Amino acid sequence: MSSTNAIVVYESIYGNTRAVAEAIAQGLGCTVLEVQKAPGVDVAVQADLLVVGGPTHMHGLATARSRQMAVAAAHEDGDTSVEPLAAEEPGLRQWLRDLPQRSGARAAAFDTRLDKSPWMTGVAARGIARRMRSRGYEVLACESFLVRDSEGPREEGELERAHTWGSHLAELLSGAARATA
Protein backbone atom coordinates (compact mmCIF):
# COMPACT_ATOMS: atom_id res chain seq x y z
CA MET A 1 0.00 0.00 0.00
CA SER A 2 1.07 3.53 -0.73
CA SER A 3 1.68 6.06 2.01
CA THR A 4 -0.07 8.65 -0.16
CA ASN A 5 -3.38 9.98 0.95
CA ALA A 6 -5.21 9.54 -2.35
CA ILE A 7 -8.78 8.64 -3.21
CA VAL A 8 -10.49 7.51 -6.41
CA VAL A 9 -14.12 8.61 -6.86
CA TYR A 10 -16.02 7.21 -9.83
CA GLU A 11 -19.40 6.92 -11.50
CA SER A 12 -20.25 3.70 -13.33
CA ILE A 13 -23.29 2.35 -15.13
CA TYR A 14 -22.33 -1.02 -16.56
CA GLY A 15 -19.38 -1.78 -14.27
CA ASN A 16 -16.58 -0.98 -16.72
CA THR A 17 -15.67 2.32 -15.06
CA ARG A 18 -15.87 0.68 -11.62
CA ALA A 19 -13.38 -1.99 -12.68
CA VAL A 20 -11.03 0.65 -14.09
CA ALA A 21 -11.36 2.77 -10.92
CA GLU A 22 -10.54 -0.26 -8.77
CA ALA A 23 -7.45 -1.02 -10.88
CA ILE A 24 -6.28 2.60 -10.64
CA ALA A 25 -6.81 2.57 -6.86
CA GLN A 26 -4.87 -0.67 -6.59
CA GLY A 27 -1.97 0.88 -8.53
CA LEU A 28 -2.11 3.96 -6.31
CA GLY A 29 -2.61 1.95 -3.13
CA CYS A 30 -5.64 3.94 -2.05
CA THR A 31 -9.35 3.92 -1.35
CA VAL A 32 -11.95 3.82 -4.12
CA LEU A 33 -15.51 5.15 -3.67
CA GLU A 34 -18.59 5.13 -5.85
CA VAL A 35 -19.70 8.76 -6.20
CA GLN A 36 -23.09 7.99 -4.62
CA LYS A 37 -21.31 6.59 -1.55
CA ALA A 38 -18.66 9.30 -1.29
CA PRO A 39 -19.50 10.94 2.03
CA GLY A 40 -20.25 14.38 0.74
CA VAL A 41 -17.18 16.08 -0.62
CA ASP A 42 -15.24 15.85 2.66
CA VAL A 43 -13.15 12.95 1.36
CA ALA A 44 -11.90 15.12 -1.48
CA VAL A 45 -10.82 17.91 0.87
CA GLN A 46 -8.63 15.54 2.89
CA ALA A 47 -6.88 13.84 -0.05
CA ASP A 48 -3.40 14.70 -1.34
CA LEU A 49 -4.58 13.42 -4.73
CA LEU A 50 -8.17 13.21 -5.92
CA VAL A 51 -8.69 10.92 -8.93
CA VAL A 52 -12.14 11.24 -10.51
CA GLY A 53 -13.63 9.26 -13.37
CA GLY A 54 -16.79 8.34 -15.19
CA PRO A 55 -18.13 6.95 -18.45
CA THR A 56 -18.36 9.08 -21.57
CA HIS A 57 -22.02 9.64 -22.49
CA MET A 58 -23.19 11.65 -25.47
CA HIS A 59 -19.71 13.15 -25.98
CA GLY A 60 -19.14 14.12 -22.34
CA LEU A 61 -19.90 13.56 -18.71
CA ALA A 62 -23.03 11.55 -17.95
CA THR A 63 -26.14 13.47 -16.98
CA ALA A 64 -29.01 12.31 -14.76
CA ARG A 65 -31.05 11.85 -17.94
CA SER A 66 -28.37 9.87 -19.84
CA ARG A 67 -27.89 7.57 -16.82
CA GLN A 68 -31.65 6.97 -16.57
CA MET A 69 -31.85 6.24 -20.30
CA ALA A 70 -28.94 3.77 -20.09
CA VAL A 71 -30.45 1.97 -17.10
CA ALA A 72 -33.89 1.83 -18.76
CA ALA A 73 -32.37 0.44 -21.98
CA ALA A 74 -30.42 -2.18 -20.02
CA HIS A 75 -33.56 -3.29 -18.18
CA GLU A 76 -35.48 -3.40 -21.46
CA ASP A 77 -32.71 -5.48 -23.03
CA GLY A 78 -32.69 -7.87 -20.10
CA ASP A 79 -29.19 -9.17 -20.91
CA THR A 80 -27.26 -6.10 -19.78
CA SER A 81 -26.49 -5.67 -16.10
CA VAL A 82 -26.15 -2.27 -14.48
CA GLU A 83 -24.50 -1.12 -11.28
CA PRO A 84 -26.94 -1.01 -8.33
CA LEU A 85 -26.63 2.78 -7.86
CA ALA A 86 -26.26 3.71 -11.54
CA ALA A 87 -29.34 5.94 -11.69
CA GLU A 88 -28.98 7.36 -8.16
CA GLU A 89 -27.93 10.89 -7.28
CA PRO A 90 -25.58 12.51 -6.82
CA GLY A 91 -24.04 11.76 -10.13
CA LEU A 92 -20.52 12.87 -10.91
CA ARG A 93 -21.68 16.19 -12.40
CA GLN A 94 -23.48 17.16 -9.18
CA TRP A 95 -20.66 15.90 -6.97
CA LEU A 96 -18.11 17.95 -8.90
CA ARG A 97 -20.42 20.99 -8.79
CA ASP A 98 -20.44 20.72 -4.97
CA LEU A 99 -16.68 20.23 -4.72
CA PRO A 100 -15.19 23.04 -2.59
CA GLN A 101 -12.42 25.31 -3.82
CA ARG A 102 -8.93 23.86 -3.14
CA SER A 103 -6.27 26.06 -4.63
CA GLY A 104 -3.22 24.00 -5.57
CA ALA A 105 -4.70 20.63 -4.59
CA ARG A 106 -3.74 17.82 -6.96
CA ALA A 107 -6.10 15.76 -9.08
CA ALA A 108 -6.34 13.42 -12.05
CA ALA A 109 -9.25 12.59 -14.34
CA PHE A 110 -10.18 9.48 -16.29
CA ASP A 111 -13.03 8.10 -18.31
CA THR A 112 -14.19 5.04 -20.18
CA ARG A 113 -15.22 5.49 -23.78
CA LEU A 114 -15.64 3.62 -27.02
CA ASP A 115 -12.47 2.65 -28.87
CA LYS A 116 -12.95 5.24 -31.62
CA SER A 117 -11.57 8.66 -32.37
CA PRO A 118 -12.22 11.13 -29.50
CA TRP A 119 -13.92 13.55 -31.91
CA MET A 120 -16.51 10.81 -32.57
CA THR A 121 -17.00 9.62 -28.97
CA GLY A 122 -16.20 12.63 -26.85
CA VAL A 123 -13.99 12.40 -23.76
CA ALA A 124 -15.58 12.74 -20.31
CA ALA A 125 -12.14 13.13 -18.66
CA ARG A 126 -11.78 16.55 -20.29
CA GLY A 127 -15.00 17.77 -18.66
CA ILE A 128 -13.99 16.30 -15.32
CA ALA A 129 -10.59 18.00 -15.52
CA ARG A 130 -12.16 21.32 -16.52
CA ARG A 131 -14.54 21.20 -13.56
CA MET A 132 -11.71 20.33 -11.18
CA ARG A 133 -9.52 23.14 -12.49
CA SER A 134 -12.40 25.56 -11.93
CA ARG A 135 -12.29 24.47 -8.27
CA GLY A 136 -8.57 25.25 -8.04
CA TYR A 137 -7.18 21.75 -8.54
CA GLU A 138 -3.95 21.19 -10.42
CA VAL A 139 -4.78 18.33 -12.79
CA LEU A 140 -1.69 16.13 -13.09
CA ALA A 141 -3.04 13.76 -15.74
CA CYS A 142 -6.07 12.74 -17.81
CA GLU A 143 -6.60 9.31 -19.35
CA SER A 144 -9.22 7.38 -21.30
CA PHE A 145 -9.74 3.64 -20.95
CA LEU A 146 -11.43 1.90 -23.84
CA VAL A 147 -14.48 -0.33 -24.17
CA ARG A 148 -15.63 -2.23 -27.25
CA ASP A 149 -19.30 -1.31 -26.96
CA SER A 150 -21.34 1.09 -24.81
CA GLU A 151 -22.00 -1.66 -22.26
CA GLY A 152 -18.51 -3.16 -22.56
CA PRO A 153 -16.56 -5.27 -22.40
CA ARG A 154 -13.34 -3.38 -21.83
CA GLU A 155 -10.69 -3.67 -24.50
CA GLU A 156 -8.02 -6.23 -23.72
CA GLY A 157 -5.31 -4.98 -21.38
CA GLU A 158 -7.22 -1.93 -20.13
CA LEU A 159 -7.29 -3.03 -16.48
CA GLU A 160 -3.54 -3.60 -16.53
CA ARG A 161 -3.09 -0.20 -18.15
CA ALA A 162 -5.31 1.37 -15.45
CA HIS A 163 -3.21 -0.25 -12.71
CA THR A 164 -0.03 1.06 -14.34
CA TRP A 165 -1.57 4.54 -14.64
CA GLY A 166 -2.42 4.45 -10.92
CA SER A 167 1.20 3.54 -10.14
CA HIS A 168 2.34 6.40 -12.39
CA LEU A 169 0.07 8.82 -10.50
CA ALA A 170 1.63 7.66 -7.21
CA GLU A 171 5.07 8.41 -8.66
CA LEU A 172 3.94 11.85 -9.88
CA LEU A 173 2.53 12.69 -6.46
CA SER A 174 5.62 11.39 -4.70
CA GLY A 175 7.86 13.46 -6.99
CA ALA A 176 5.75 16.55 -6.42
CA ALA A 177 5.93 16.02 -2.65
CA ARG A 178 9.74 15.71 -2.80
CA ALA A 179 9.98 18.86 -4.91
CA THR A 180 8.03 20.91 -2.34
CA ALA A 181 9.91 19.44 0.66
Dist. CA 59–CA 115, nearest whole Å: 13
Position 116 scores a pLDDT of 84
Q: Under CATH, domain 6-180 is a member of which superfamily?
A: Flavodoxin domain (3.40.50.360)
Separation between Cα atoms, residue 68 and residue 76, nearest integer Å: 12
Beta strands of 38-137 (E only): which ranges?
49-57, 60-61, 106-114
Question: Strand, helix or coil at 60?
Answer: strand
Number of H helices, E strands in the chain: 7, 6
Measured distance CA(131)–CA(80) in Å, rounded: 31
* Ranges of each domain in the chain: 6-180
Question: What is the average per-residue pLDDT within 144-170?
Answer: 92
Report the interhelical angle of 158-180 vs 16-28 (nearest 10°).
40
23 membership: H or E segment, kind and range: helix 16-28
Neighbours of 148 (CB within 10 A): 13
> For 68-100, what is each residue's pLDDT tens digit?
888 888 878 777 788 888 888 889 999 999 888
Distance CA 141, CA 132 (A): 12
Q: Please name which of 58, 8, 56 lies closest in space to residue 32, comparing C-alpha atoms.
A: 8
Q: To the nearest whole number, what is the mean pLDDT of the chain?
A: 87
Name the residue type at position 138.
E
Q: Of the ranges 37-46, 109-118, 127-136, 139-148, which one carries the lowest mean pLDDT score?
A: 37-46
* pTM (2 d.p.): 0.89
Residues 6+ apart with CB under 8 A from 141: 108, 109, 165, 168, 169, 172
